[in-house]
């Protein structure tokens, strides 16, 4: 039986169409990023002109996106390699198809939202830009917390899907804070409520995070702390640094006490069906 014929009813997509939509959304997002970098004013110019109490050091964001895009390319390549017509497909390969195709709609939404955000950000339409950030961030968080199964460390597609989805969600948290602060609290410092909610929110997220998403949360806090120090918010920067240490400690304790990953090797083959069954 082909992969398409063996996928259960919950997986509405199949690899060839998913690969095309994933590649297209990545290309659109990449083109929008080049526009943001090369246009006048550039995305960094807009960042420097609109500072808030969650504004990160912009080069931290760039340093995050470069390897993240490499992982995206690896994930897209793996998706493209899936052979939807292969016979005698094992349970392991079926699981790999399921986990990758299940993420595709969320991945496409994420790329299109980031591309749309870039257009409005570079037009200084910060509130409209923030709308796309909100959609993307909530979409990615919904996926990793409600749909993503535990990572199988012996499955490359599973590992890549976890890395791509959780880094998407991780940078989405930073984007949500950054864009929200500059869209609605431009050139304002944090009040006590914002400080408390930041600590509580990151502690809560760290308490239900694996190593990947947890590392992203810590990176977010460090990026914001360095950015705030650069604009003279020394006290707030120091507090964010303490939050980063606290979040890191929570992530370590949580994952040591309860390891988040599994290690399975499902290599059984499923008997091939007749041509009529495939159709």
Q: Print pLDDT tens along the chain (279 aa).
A: 445 445 544 444 455 677 888 899 999 999 999 999 988 888 999 999 999 999 999 999 999 989 999 999 999 999 888 755 455 556 777 778 888 999 999 999 999 999 999 999 999 999 999 999 999 999 999 999 999 999 999 899 999 999 999 999 999 999 999 999 999 998 899 999 999 999 999 999 999 999 999 999 999 999 999 999 999 999 999 999 999 999 999 999 999 999 999 987 755 434 434 334 433
Please give the model's pTM, rounded to 2 decimal places: 0.86
Looking up tokens 């709609």 gives: 105
Residue 212, in any domain of the structure: no
Residue 53, in any domain of the structure: yes
Q: Facing residues of 269 across strands?
A: 90
Contact 169, 215 (CB under 8 A): no
Residue 223, in any domain of the structure: no
The boundaries of the domain holding residue 49 are 3-189+262-278
Residue 76, in any domain of the structure: yes
Residue 118, in any domain of the structure: yes
Residue 218, in any domain of the structure: no
Helix/strand/coil (H/E/C) assignment for every residue in 120-157: HHHCCCHHHHHHHHHHHHHHHHHHHHHCCCCCECCCHH
Contact 53, 135 (CB under 8 A): no
- Taking the C-alpha atoms of residue 159 and residue 164, their distance in angstroms, rounded to an integer, is 9
Residue 250, in any domain of the structure: no
Residue 231, in any domain of the structure: no
Total domains in the fold of the chain: 1
């Amino acid at each position: 039986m082909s992969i398409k014929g063996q996928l259960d009813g919950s997986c509405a997509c199949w690899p060839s169409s998913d690969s095309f939509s994933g590649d297209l959304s990545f290309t659109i997002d990449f083109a929008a990023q080049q526009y943001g970098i090369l246009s006048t004013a550039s995305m960094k110019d807009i960042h420097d002109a609109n500072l808030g109490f969650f504004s990160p050091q912009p080069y931290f964001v760039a340093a995050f996106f470069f390897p993240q895009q490499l992982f995206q390319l690896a994930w897209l390549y793996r998706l493209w390699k899936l052979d939807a017509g292969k016979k005698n497909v094992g349970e392991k390969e079926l699981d790999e198809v399921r986990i990758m195709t299940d993420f595709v709609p969320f991945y496409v939404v994420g790329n299109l939202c980031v591309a749309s955000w870039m257009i409005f950000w570079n037009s200084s339409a910060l509130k409209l830009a923030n709308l796309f950030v909100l959609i993307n961030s909530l979409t990615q968080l919904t996926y990793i917390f409600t749909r993503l199964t535990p990572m199988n460390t012996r499955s490359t597609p599973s590992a890549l899907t976890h890395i791509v989805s959780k880094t998407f969600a991780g940078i989405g948290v930073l984007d949500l804070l950054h864009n929200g602060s500059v869209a609605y609290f431009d050139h304002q410092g944090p009040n006590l409520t914002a400080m408390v909610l930041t600590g509580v929110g990151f502690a809560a997220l760290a308490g239900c995070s694996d190593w990947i998403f947890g590392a992203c949360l810590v990176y977010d806090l460090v990026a914001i702390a360095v950015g705030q120090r650069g604009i003279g918010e020394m006290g707030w920067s120091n507090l964010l640094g303490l939050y980063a240490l606290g979040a890191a400690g929570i992530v370590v304790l949580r994952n040591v006490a309860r390891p988040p990953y599994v290690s399975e090797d499902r290599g059984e083959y499923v008997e091939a069906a007749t041509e009529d069954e495939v159709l």
